[in-house]
């Protein structure tokens, strides 16, 4: 773990300790400020300050989860899911019919990373829909619409 990551991890862990508060200034877009005010008015939080603090804490919690996962994958690289597995999970979550086509998703992921090394699950689903269209033009509309 590099020094910056260790510092971030330590700072995130200290969030659970109650400590003194400090006043700070943050520049917000007008639309974000209005959205926060509307969320407070709708009862989503007690006040704009709490809304902003909770949002920052949630973001830092996401960073902590990412750090933990990265450290886990560093120690146990075989546990990292493949791009095809991630695309399959995304398809399942979205109710995409391609979720039932694991061989097609594996093929799409394998081909796509050669064309676009930074491809993500959404890219795989779009590419798989195109491959599916070549195989079965009659059922393409539903698969493409879902991705």
Full DSSP string of 93-115: HHT-GGGG-HHHHHHHHHHHHHH
pLDDT of residue 80: 95
Residue ranges for the chain with pLDDT beneath 50: 140
Helices (H) and strands (E) in the chain, counts: 7, 0
CA 127 to chain centre: 20
Whether the predicted model's global pTM rises above the 0.85 cut:
no
pLDDT of residue 135: 82
pLDDT in tens, 80-103: 999 999 999 999 999 999 999 999
Q: How are the residues of the chain apportioned to helix, strand and coil, as percentages rounded to the nearest 5?
A: 75, 0, 25
> CA triplet 131, 82, 71: central angle to 5 degrees?
155
d(C-alpha 113, C-alpha 121), whole Å:
11
- Of 114, 88, 111, the residue nearest 100 (C-alpha): 88
């Amino acid at each position: 773990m590099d020094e910056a990551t260790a510092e971030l991890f330590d700072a995130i862990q200290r969030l659970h300790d109650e400590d003194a508060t400090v006043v700070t200034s943050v520049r917000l877009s007008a639309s974000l400020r209005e959205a926060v005010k509307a969320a407070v008015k709708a009862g989503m939080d007690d006040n704009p300050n709490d809304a902003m603090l909770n949002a920052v804490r949630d973001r830092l919690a996401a960073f902590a989860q990412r750090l933990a996962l990265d450290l886990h994958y560093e120690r146990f690289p075989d546990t990292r899911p493949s791009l095809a597995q991630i695309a399959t999970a995304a398809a399942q979550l979205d109710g995409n019919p391609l979720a039932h086509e694991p061989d097609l998703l594996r093929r799409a992921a394998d081909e796509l990373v050669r064309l676009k090394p930074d491809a993500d699950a959404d890219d795989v689903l779009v590419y798989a829909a195109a491959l599916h269209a070549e195989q079965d033009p009659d059922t393409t509309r539903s698969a493409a619409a879902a991705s």
